[in-house]
Structures are given as structure tokens and as C-alpha cells.
Chain A
Amino acid sequence: MARIKEKFADLEAKNQKALISYIMSGFPNEKATMSTVRGLVKGGVDIIELGFPFSDPLADGPVIQNASTVSLERGTNIAKFFSLVKKIRKETDIPLILMTYTNILYHKGYGKFISEAKKAGIDGFILPDMSIEESKEYLQAAKNKADTIFLISPNTSKTRIQKISKASSGFLYLVAVFGTTGVKAGIKKYTLDAIKQAKKQTNGKIPIGVGFGVSTPDDVRKYIKAGADAVIVGSAYLKLIEKTPQDQLESKIASFTKSLKKQTLL
């Protein structure tokens, strides 16, 4: 679990912010996921968020919904996912975060799932339907094992931001817009205000990562300028993966990543 913290410290020393890339594991197949990961690393990504598919991804827009469905249809399961993570771990030491829904962890048992995930090489978790009120058991299970990255939203109250940030480790995920993942809303003033508010309420104790609808180098630049410590790009990657033939995947992902990463250098 030190990997995420060390990464942010390292970036700070280099005067950089973090680029976090989200991809759905097993979309459209495992081979493509491996090529994508290699492309991400080559392109200079700082942290990789691996999606594990869930049948009912209610915080996700059409792009990630479709990727979940395809991944599940192609046979992605927990055992295959963990062996994929182990494979990635053999190639890179980059922080890996698992993003999925609460039921996947609950069903196996929070403790058991988190232990196995950590053993495979996962450093932290993002569960968009895990609210702070229901998180006691999850937090206990993750303690000293993995980072628990909670989400806040532009409508989250000041006191709640403080409460959530206390339960969070790694970074605090600010949902940029009212909407599901992949929504095209442009840069809103309320998002820029929310970044400032989050920074103020957390007082530098935890990095703020901005995601949902972040898709271009221009988006990345504007959010970084507004004070974000990290940006998360997801659906834009899945769209690129979908239209790129396997033999060009690694290089295309690398060059897109490079263009995003460039905007995080201060």
C-alpha cells in the first residue's frame, strides 16, 4: 500500500502531478489489456486503475457499461483477474488500483478479497457505491493492507468532505461532474470550485484526484491548473482501445498517454 503514497511523494519532488489511467480488465480480451498496460507504462502513466466488471455498474456511462458486459461475456472472473494482476506485476512496479462495485468484495468477504488482491499486487480500491456510512467492515479489512479511495462530489458538504477524507488513503477521488463516467460536459465552473473546496477542506493531507468526463490533454491541463493533484482518464481510453487493432494498441495507447502526461508537468 506504500506504492501510491510513494508515487505522489516522488511526483511532488519532480514537480509533477499524477496521471491515472482507467482501463477495464479483459476488454476486449486479456491480450489487449496486457498491450494496453505496456502502452500506458511506456507513455509515462503514474497509476493504473484496473476495472473489474460488475453486472450492474450503476455509476458508469455507456462506454464502461459496454466494456463490463464484453469483459464478462469473454469470461473475466476473479481468478483470471488476479492472475492478470500478477502478470502485470512481473513487468512493472507501478501502483495498481482496483475499481469495482461493493458486491464483488462483499460476496467473497471483504477480508478474503482484499488479502488475495494485495497478494496479487493490488495497492488500493475504489468502490463507487460504497458510502462512508456502510464502510466499517470494508475499512477494517483494508487496514494496513490496501488504500481505500473514497469519492466526493461537487455537492458534498464541507463537513462530509472532511469525514470522507479521514477514511480515505492514497488519494481522494473528486467526481468532476453530475453524471456517470464518460459524460461529455466540458469544464464547469462548479468543478473548478469543487477542486478548490476539496483542497481547502483536506489541507494538503491527501492528494485530490479528479475524474469522470476527463478525456483530453486540454481537460487535464485545466484541472491541474485548478489545483488537482491527479487526473483520472477512463472512457477515452476504452474508446481508443475499441477502435485500435491489436498490433497497434501498445503504440497508440503510449502516444495518447504521453499527450496526457505532458500536461501534468508543471
Chain B
Amino acid sequence: MKYPKNGRFGEFGGKYIPETLVPAIEELEENYLKFKNDKEFKKELDYYLKVYAGRPTPLYYAKNLSEKLGGGKIYLKREDLLHGGAHKINNTLGQALLAKKMNKKRIIAETGAGQHGVATAMACAALGMKAEVYMGYRDTIRQKQNVLRMNMLGCKVHPVKSGSKTLKDAINEAIRDWITNVENTYYLLGSAVGPHPYPVMVRDFQSVIGNEIKSQMKKINNKYPDTVIACVGGGSNAIGTFYPLVDSNSEIIGVEAAGHGLKSKMHSATLSAGSKGVLHGMMTYLLQDSEGQVTETHSISAGLDYPGVGPEHSYYKDTKRIKYHSATDAEVIDAFLLLTRTEGIIPALESSHAIAEAIKVARKSKKSESIVVTLSGRGDKDIEEVQNYLREHGKN
């Protein structure tokens, strides 16, 4: 869906927002539409993506891993090599540049694992702006290193102690800040969620991933990949990977966090186990109870620990264009270790969900098949979490 009419992907999306935010959202959409095709803007963004963030990122053939599994060839789209260590910088550079064009002096953002917070702090520093980041209190503890990085970058981190103290609550608090300071503040949302035009704007800024995959695979194989896989929390790296390929013949698989298992209630697999609802300004699939109260989620990866999902993913789930699977914490740890040890690449726990699925797909596929996995971030931030997991499960 190119540009969603009325902000809707089928029945999903929309703008369910307090009236105070309406002028800000309208101003944002107007400016986004004006600048997205503006030659100067594109040139400037391309420049920063190239020499600041490090694009294009390589598409790496994971030979050792592929041979070990004995099936198709696994290629890793190395978003982990970007400045800041994750795909998040693609979007923050785009939006920060837009905010600058809109003369916004104050930037706020939410973050789950801290990667979007770090990428916001970096983009804002590079473009000479000030950022403040909301982060669930629980996440500030399990992703402490990223809090320290944000502080070093001169960015104020507000720990959020309401609700489940994770990403969902960080978004609530960022929206409350935006309502209060709407006149001078730009809300730099990090995932393909929220009210229109955020889901489509974030998708567009992240689509550089899928577009590069297409041209890189053309060069390597002279065709698009047979299968494309990415992890889905809010779903920004996934939609950026998938969107340029939705009209191709590639099989597309999004991987959600199954936590302790889909029957355990301790998971964040919104598309696999959720129902339709309204949260954070959008209609989408949600994890909620029988009365419409949003339920608490669990994932070993803070970045996927979210009860909603981008509305465009909900649309592709219902139209069946994209398959949405899930990986449990245990599968994720196995995938993390396997990739680390076979290829010397430490993936983020978020991205390890995609690796876990790739392992399953590779085992069942022919050697001639190609599987592209978006490695959305690097796992340095997760070393402690993984070590704790291994210790608790007697594997260390």
C-alpha cells in the first residue's frame, strides 16, 4: 500500500489521538509529504546515511551457519554494522532532519531496548538538536548500557514507572509530554506504530533496508531472495525490509517474541495471539484481555516487549501476504549462541528471533534457495542478559 488513504491500511491504522495533538499531526503530515520527495532533503539524508551512518550495509553470506544447517543459503543484512549498532539510525536521521526543517527545537522519543534512544541522541547531536528520551524503568535496568550511552551523548533519559514499566508505557509518557509541549516539540517515534503518518513515514525511512537487499541479491543471484525474514516488535526493521518486496514472489516471514511460549501469556506475539483494538493512536492487533484492557507482555528482548504492532503488519497478516511466526526465549538464546559461534557475529536478542526462524527455514530448504535475514542490531547490549539466562537455566 503506497500511501494509505486516510491513514488506513485496510481497516488498520488511523489517528485515534487527543484533539490537542491534531494540529501537530497535521503539520507533520504536511511537512513529510512536502519533504519526502524534495531533492535537497533527499540529498542531505542520503549524505548522512552514507557517511555518518555507514550505508549501504553489507549483505553477508553466512557460509558456516548455512553449511552447518545443510539447507539454503543464509544471507545476513548487516544493519548491526550501522552507527549506533542498529537499524534505528535510518529513521532517526530522516525524522531529525525533518524536525530541523520544521524548525522544531525540542525532540522527544521513546525507547524500548534503548537502541532508538541512542540513535535519536546521535542524530540530534549530529544535527545540533536536543533530545529527551522516555524509557520504561524495567528497561533502564536490563539495558543499562544504552542508558549510559544516551547520557554520554547529552540526552536526558526519563525512566517511566507507570504501568508495566516497558516500551508501551514509555510511549504513553512521550505522548503525554507531547500533549503538554505540543507547540515547540517534535515527537520522534522509533517504530512503525502510532497515529498516521508515523507508520508510513517510519516505513519509508526504513525501506532503504529492503531496497538495498533487492539490488544486492540481484547482483549476487540475479534474482530476489526466496525467503526474507525479520523480527517484529513494533515492526520497523521488518516493514523496512518487507515493504520493497511485497510485490515480489519472495516468501516473507515476520517473527514475533513467543517468550515462554504462546500458551503461557508470557509473550509479546501480538499478531500470532492478539485481537483487534485501539492503542497509541492506531487500530491494530493488540494483546488485551476480554474487556479491552491491554495486557502485560514478556520478551527476553526489551525491543520486542510491546503489546501492539505496526498497523501495516496487521494488514499484511489479514491479507495473508506475510506470514507471522514466533520464537521462544529458549530458541532465541540458541540462535544467538549459534550465530555468535559459527560466524563471529553477536546479534541483538531482537534480531536473534529472526535468526531462530531462519534456522528452521534453512533446515527445510534446498541448497539452491536463498534466505535473507535482517540482522537489525548488534548484541553487545545483551551480553549480560544472555549470561544471566544461561546461569539461571544451568547452561553455564
Instruction: List the interface of chain A (C-beta within 8 A of B).
Output: 54-59, 61, 65, 69, 72, 77-78, 101-104, 106-108, 128-131, 133-134, 150-153, 155-157, 160, 164, 175, 178-180, 183
Would B18 and A156 count as touching, CB distance under 8 A? no
> Between A and B, how many residue pairs show CB distances below 8 Å?
106
Closest B residue to A108 by CB, please name it.
B292
Closest A residue to B180 by CB, please name it.
A179
Would B179 and A179 count as touching, CB distance under 8 A? yes
Instruction: List the interface of chain B (C-beta within 8 A of A).
Output: 6, 14-20, 22-23, 162-163, 168-169, 172, 175-176, 179-183, 275-281, 283, 286, 288, 291-295
Given the interface contacts A55-B293, A56-B279, does A156 sit within 8 Å of B22 by beta carbon? Answer: yes
Would B288 and A107 count as touching, CB distance under 8 A? yes
Would A56 and B294 count as touching, CB distance under 8 A? yes
Shortest distance between the CB of B19 and any CB in chain A (Å):
5
Main secondary structure of the interface of A (DSSP, over half): loop
Given the interface contacts A102-B278, A129-B278, does A178 sit within 8 Å of B183 by beta carbon? Answer: yes
Additional 20 contacts, C-beta under 8 A, given A58-B172, A103-B277, A103-B278? A56-B163, A56-B172, A56-B294, A69-B162, A69-B163, A101-B278, A102-B278, A103-B286, A103-B292, A106-B276, A107-B277, A107-B291, A128-B18, A134-B16, A134-B283, A153-B18, A155-B183, A175-B19, A178-B179, A178-B180
Q: How far is the CA of A151 from the CA of B293 in the complex (A)?
A: 23
Q: How far is the CA of A87 from the CA of B295 in the complex (A)?
A: 29
Shortest distance between the CB of B5 and any CB in chain A (Å):
12
Q: How far is the CA of A78 from the CA of B23 in the complex (A)?
A: 34
Would A180 and B163 count as touching, CB distance under 8 A? no
Would B15 and A131 count as touching, CB distance under 8 A? yes
Shortest distance between the CB of B273 and any CB in chain A (Å):
16
Q: How far is the CA of A18 from the CA of B280 in the complex (A)?
A: 32
Q: How far is the CA of A84 from the CA of B155 in the complex (A)?
A: 47
Closest B residue to A61 by CB, please name it.
B176
Closest A residue to B176 by CB, please name it.
A180
Q: How far is the CA of A54 from the CA of B16 in the complex (A)?
A: 15
Give the chain B neighbours of A108 by CB distance below 8 A: 291-292
Would A155 and B292 count as touching, CB distance under 8 A? no
